Amino acid sequence: MSFEYAYVACVGLIIGSFLNVCIHRIPRGESVISPRSRCPQCSRPVRAIENVPVLSYLLLGGKCRGCGQPIGWIYPLVEILTGVGFVLLLYRFGLSTPFFVNAVLFSLLIALAFIDLFERILPNVMTLGGTVVGLLLAGLQSEVFLKGAGSVWGEGGIPSNYVNSLLGILFGGGFLWAVAALYLRIRRIEGMGFGDVKMMAMVGAFLGWQFAWLTILFGSLVGAIVGGFYIYLSKQGRRYELPFGTFLAFAGMAVVLVGPEALDWYLNRLGGS
């Protein structure tokens, strides 16, 4: 059992290293495959021995060996976050198909969280592409999320996992689209980027409509608290553009880990009131 956790943690660190490449290159329209990793300041190629997740950062003292410029803290943070996330997924799902499905979702959300944080964009190649992937993998997702139980529309009909995934796409993206469109109509200014809409369609594809709703709720609460606190401390005006996609991404990860229990608790409280 301990070997499984160590192995999954190492795989998570490696994937986190690749996510760093995605975070840096995708917003710039660059290939994530070639050229090989290089220093963003001096363009010096990073040797294999200097590209070991987390360890190389520590051994290099957080600086490029070529130009001596600092290496951003984002690199080890993303690697550690991915490794820890994969371990938590293994603890929740075991080494099963839902583990692999949600590891894909975690990877997408981690990359999108930091891209939105630094660039204020959510690339279509990840949000729309992720929506397609989530729908295709719906049959392998845990029934805790997509409530797959047999088929709908008769014998040999569409498996309900896929139906719930489609409903998740429609609700996750459609709800935020309606909110954004209404806000734009009333205030005459854009209050939410449509990249957030596409990302929630992706989350809905993986988790279904109920947990897309829960992700929006969690993300909105955290965004209001953390964003409001930051705006107050930094003296930014109300029109400061908060990275709502970042809050939604971390909310989506939290929902994968504790969402079913949180939803059951809420419904039980609602039923008992």
Q: What is the pLDDT of residue 47?
A: 82
Q: What is the pLDDT of residue 177?
A: 83
Q: Diameter of the chain by CA atoms?
A: 66
Structure tokens of 100?
A: 């692999």
Q: Give the C-alpha separation, 49 to 56, whole Å.
A: 7
pLDDT level of residue 189 (50, 70, 90 thresholds):
low
Mean pLDDT estimate for the chain? 86
> Helices 124-136 and 194-222: crossing angle, nearest 10°?
80
Question: Is the pLDDT at 155 greater than 60, yes or no?
Answer: no
The predicted model gives 223-245 an average pLDDT of: 75
- Tell the residue number behind the tokens 């279904």, with chain if given: 208
Question: Is the pLDDT at 101 greater than 70, yes or no?
Answer: yes
Half-sphere exposure of 248 (CA within 13 A, CB side): 29
The predicted model gives 169-177 an average pLDDT of: 88
Ranked by mean pLDDT, which of 49-63, 79-93, 192-206, 218-232 comes out on top? 79-93
Single out the residue of 181, 185, 206 nearest to residue 194, CA to CA: 181
